[in-house]
Structure 1
Amino acid sequence: MRTFILKLKNKVNDFSIRKKLVFSFLIVVFIPIMITGYYLTHQLREFSLNDAMNKSVEDNKRIAKQVNAFLQVPINISSQFLLDNQLEEFANTQYKTTYQYVEAFQQYQRFDQYMDLYDYISNIRFYMDNPTMIDNWRVIQPDESEKKKDWYNQAVSHRGYIGWYFTEDFTKKNNKYLTLVRRIDFLHYNNYGVLVLSLDNSYFNSILDEYTSPSLILNGSDVIASSREGLIQKDITKLPLTSLKSNGTFDTTINNHQYKVVTTSLKPESSYNSMKIVTIIPVEMIVADANKSSMLALLFILLSSIIAILLIYFFSNMLSQRISRLSKHIHEVSDGNLDTNLVLAGNDEIGKIANQFNVMTDNIKKLMIESKDAEREKALLIIRQKEIKFQMLASQINPHFLYNVLESIRMKALLNGEKEISQTVKLLGQLMRKNLEVGSAAVTLKSELEMVKNYLDIQKFRFGSRFSYEMDVDPLSESIKIPPLSVQPLVENAIVHGLKNKETGGFISIRARVINAELWVEVADNGSGITQERLNQIMERMNDVHDSDGKHIGLSNIHQRLQLSYGEEYGLTLKTSETLGTKVCFSIPAGGN
């Protein structure tokens, strides 16, 4: 054996350099590459499965969190009905006449208020055993057939706990909805009713549409919502939905198709039953790309090996030298040196790689600079948006309490014949609602100007004939979206500062136009104007991104938000005259950012 090895060694030593390169390639490179290729192909398939599974598990958990957060609103609404003394009196009063009941029903507006406030609430019904009340699709006398239904019996027996059912709504052509049912106890009357709150199923579909994994929301064996049904519609009906595990993953085979199934149990707050979030992953779909990539990889390895054997005979020295230089520069880049420049003669692949390498290093440097600038601008925009939100939150108390108090004041004024006071209180309630709902998302110009009009009408109630206003708005501009609170502070500034010395004859003009694919907005007053010195101070402060007193939403905040959202060429423009008043203008792209 030793003699054979020695002879083989001597024979190899007699080979030419090219033969040695080919031989070493076959022994040292080609065989390990084939073995590695096979191993990587297998690992790629497993990795694809594991990656898809991990992603589906995370998606499943996120869907459960989103659905739970979405269900929190109807849960809170049902809790408010649970403590509603007005509902207790309305539901337990023995009405002597139909007119008396109709009048009481018209005064109790909570059902319609919640449906107007939340568009994803499809319907609210209240079942109450009170013969003096009239069925009207809101308040319903439960008959024996209703009382025998499972959801009704379960709601009654669980005394205040919440149940979730996928039931028909006879007021909606018997369409099925995910429905909250809850017994409402009236302790003073030793009586109870059953609240039925139906939710719009499209909102659950919109949650699932955000994710790529095919998913279902189940209530028992009922499918509340599903996504990407086309991938699984043939087999989904044969999946044992009722036997799914509450939490975890398992494999199943239907019609010779393998599936990975992920389930998460969802039991909302104060509920006595639960739902399931089910993600179904077809194995064939996951490994299809991996198998294709594996075949291409193996084919590429084989072809590359054959080509390499041929090229080694002719270009071994040249290739080794050029590759060494390329490797050297790549190593320099990996060490953080982006100023290196690679020059290799020729237009072959290595020459092109060298050119692309130089372009890549330049692009990396540019991207690093642009990334830092973008992050800085994004941080500034977030700060400005949060300043607005903090100012709104600083004055925010329970909105339902405020709306109810203002509505009570308005109704009292209306009953006393004070129509002007009633209208003003109504405007104030609408203005407060919009201000409390302000976030960082863009709003339409029409919505912003509705809030401005409410504000101006309230100010006219305060100051009487001290000032008047005019709104001249191009209908084409109303649907264009702008950052929230971009116009109202300008109008407020015009009243507080521009007209502060005007006892009579004050005038404010709001104009909006679409000019050359840009939205142009102007707020003008006929006040005493601004001195040049004061104007310079204002302009300097508007352009100082670090200047923010944190006390109000002023010109500086609006100016910087516009520039951060649309670019430095946009922002506020001030025009003033001590005889003609002040104009504040801005323009933004009509198509968005």
Structure 2
Amino acid sequence: MIKKAIQITNNMKLKHKLIISYILVVMIPVLIVGITVVSYFRAEAMDRAIEQTTNNVEKIKSQLGNMLRIPVDVSDTLLLDKDLERVVTTRYDNALELTKAYLAYDGFIQFSRVYREVAGIRFYYDNPTLINNTELIPVTKEVEETKWYQQAMESKNLGWSYIDDPEVIPVKKLSLIRQLPFPERRAKGVLMVSLDQNELNRMLSQEEFETLIADDQGHVVAAKDHSLVGKTLDGLDYGVDLNQVTKGSHKMDIRGEASYLIVDELVPESSANGLRIMSVFNTDDIVKDANRVSIYGLVIILLILLIALAFVYIVSLLTTNRLLRLSRNLNRLALGDLNVVSRIDGNDEVGQLSRQFNYMVESINRLMEQVVEKTEQNNSLELAQREIKLKMMASQINPHFLFNALESIRMNAHLKGEKEIANVVRLLGRLMRKNLEVGRESTPLKEEIDMVRSYLEIQKFRYEDRLIYELAVDLQASDIRVLPLIIQPLVENAVVHGVEDKAEGVEVRLAVQMKDDVVEIRVSDNGLGMMPGRLAEVRQSISNPEESGNNRIGLRNVHQRLVLSYGEEHGLNIVSEYGKGTEIVFTIPVNV
């Protein structure tokens, strides 16, 4: 699948590649990001609106709670009012006595004057001698049949209702309904404290969204839209049954439009029922501004992208035209026109290709001129190579002849009882054979140690007591592969310089030790050592990339091979003190 896509891409023209790449890499991601940001802002606006409305409902709930405490306090005061009890329970013989009693009692008027939230107070009592003065009202059959009166007579809890009964002077307000018992007289009446409608409506007038308060019977007791007061929730044209909506935030269609409805409840202390606070807002109104800004932003983004697309198209068109000119020059060159010259200006990659093309044509012309000379030189080289091959074949015969001759000498010495000479000849043959295998890439460390041991035995035979050596080899490192002829030149250097510089001879020590992930190889001697100046010269010479005139394998060759194979940190480290000896240390990584 990937190969096929790559093939299709390679077969497309550069202009089309640039345009498609721009669309895929720039336009589509930018549009996706823009749409995502728009959606995010819409959601943020909606969440803020829900949060704001919820906070507003909480604020209204708090304000309404404070307002409802006023009629509760008034009713608590009247519960202990003995003058009220006396006025309503007295049986009056004539209207004059009743009128005097009404004029003498001013308990209700003082509350209306102190609290502007209180619109009026009524007390209903079963005393047929009373006359309805809109404050003290005798209980009639119509009053007894009302639901609020029946509930108040049956329960001592507070009740809250919108009073919409057809009386001579109707209440039509949210009212506190409460039973006032007179234990001494074994009687009771019903107190009604009505709240001022303007105060209720004023509490909602500053709300941003449509907000209303309803009692448990579904009557609207207060609303931002004052025309809704007194109506029932069923009579509102919301298109949903508001009586069934529970407390919380609800997303629903109201009046056929997507909206949110926030509902909360307030049940005052010691109350048998409570009030519901509802706030509605249209989601389109909330995201309207966000949508407008988003549309403007998307239009601007699209214009910028289209302008950029036109710019990319123009650049791609100019680039492809220059490439087509270069392609025609290449075709002329392929047909053998060596006089073609590319005249494409500019310092970009295409211009550089044009100049390189001209350089290439010049190089081809020069190379064509050199072909004849090279042909003659090649004929001479072929003759020389044949001679070299003959000499190489002859050189391969000589080592075998030498090994056979050494073996014959060793056998002859052994038969004549010269075992020491026979052993030395054997060691010499082994050493020469190992030297001829230097072309191998690597060899086990134990074979390198065997060659060093053979060399030291030969030198021991030569120098006798003037040479003392010690080999301390960690057996764990025996099978580690190392470069061939990497230790013997160091030992040879220690032996030769030690014996030549000290009449009493030299002691050479070879130590091989495993250390973590490297093998440490240490060659030391107690020879004459080197002065600091000579030591610095030696260190400089082994690091010099220029080869010296002779071809022997020495310290420099060993150091260069170590550095090239394992890295600078694994090269030779030479320490020497004049009069005490010299020590050479290097390491070989185990996992190479």
| TM bin (shorter chain) | 0.3 to 0.5
